[in-house]
Amino acid sequence: MSSNVPISGGNSITAPTPQNTPLNQAPIALGLSRPTVPDISEDNEGEASAVTDDDGVAGIEQGMLNLMVQGKLAGLLGRSSGYIESLPVEVKANIEALKGVQEKQNDLHNQYKKECLALEKKYLELTKPLYERRNAIITGKSAATSEEILAGESVSKKDDEEYTPLPSDVTPSSSGIPEFWLTALRNHVGLNEIITDRDAEALKSLVDIRLEYLNQDDAAKASPTEGKPGFKLLFQFGPNDFFEDEVLEKTYLYQEEVGYSGDFVYDRAIGTEIKWKEDKDLTKEFEIKKQRNKNTNRTRLVRKARPAESFFNFFSPPVPPTDEGIENGDYDEEELADIEEKLEIDYQIGEDLKEKIIPHAVDYFTGKALEYEGFDESDGESFEDIDEEDEDEEDGSDVSDSD
């Protein structure tokens, strides 16, 4: 499964035809709202000043003409030029035939993706005994064997030629690996940003994270629409001071049919309603305010709750906007953009947990996974923040307001 499964929502844009498609994309089509002008640096300042006024005017006129042409071409994108409509009916019949052929391709691709999902389920079942063994070592339920240690050391030697093997008579700790999952989650760039210090205290009791795929019965229970594919993440906790739940769940549902991009389309997510202990809700912050009675002039203290940033908001996923609500104008553009961004982040975190963190947990615990995420810090270079004023002094240049 791809880690970038698209969010549902289509555009009714007509495909460009040979009659309305420019040879090169116009800047507007590339997402640029206005033309950009290059800065004149000290190196080319003299060259720029040598241009005559006539050349400058001619250049400006040519640039404006180019922008007008590009603007018109970009405006044609997504609109019918009349090319298709003008074709003979015999050619139109061929076009309709191609649509029929493509529909059969789509059916085959849907079948392919569903078989891929079935294959993922099969190999998850084969992997479960290894996950159970991993959990036994992490929690200290079972000691690591000498064979497992030697196999791990051979991996370490392969990754690092300077790796020093452990003493042969070392005895594995009976307490397992403290704070394993908290460390692994914090070594994921996206999750590290949403785990607060308060969350960390609760996540220290996180015992395991498991993955399950939905079958038709599960999907029917999780959603009014039967048969939707998807997966479930299960966070198993030991006793803690924050909530009563032993397992917190997050279910992700796909739409039944594969999307235009060739992958399953995200439908929605369902989270666990956490049973917080009194005054321990990490998704809220409490503040004490004084209130004065206007009639008696007496004062009292009132405690008010407000939403707080927390990893545990992950179990209260954003709700996608409804088609009916969009048609009725219940959302403005800013609200829709905000909801879409939250949905994308929520879904990407779920996919990363499923595709990366659960199968490669030890790599996230050790930080090895960061190398594959583009955060390799083993090159020996170190950097520090530079104060802008110090930088100006080192360059020997003064920056004035006019500059």
d(CA 134, CA 128): 10
Please spell the DSSP secondary structure of 49-70, one letter per residue: HTS-HHHHHHHHHHHHHHHHHH
Give burial (CB, 10 Å; 0-12/13-18/19+) of 219.
buried
d(CA 40, CA 309): 45
Residue 363 has pLDDT above 50, yes or no: yes
Ranges of each domain in the chain: 90-164, 177-276+314-374
d(CA 135, CA 13): 50
CATH architecture assigned to 177-276+314-374: 2-Layer Sandwich (3.30)
User: Within a 10 A sphere around the Cβ of 160, how many other Cβ atoms?
Assistant: 11
Q: What is the pLDDT of residues 155-167, one digit of tens each?
A: 999 989 899 999 9
Contact 267, 278 (CB under 8 A): no
Overall average pLDDT of the 144-173 stretch: 92
Q: What is the pLDDT of residues 216-237, one digit of tens each?
A: 555 555 444 456 789 999 999 9
Note the pTM of the prediction, 2 decimals: 0.70
Rg (the chain; Cα; Å): 30
Q: What is the pLDDT of residues 29-43, one digit of tens each?
A: 333 333 333 343 444
Task: State the greatest distance between any 2 C-alpha atoms of the chain, in Å, as a whole number.
Answer: 89
With the C-alpha atoms ordered 229, 230, 231, 232, is the resulting torsion angle positive or negative? negative
Q: What is the pLDDT of residues 187-207, one digit of tens each?
A: 999 999 999 999 999 999 999
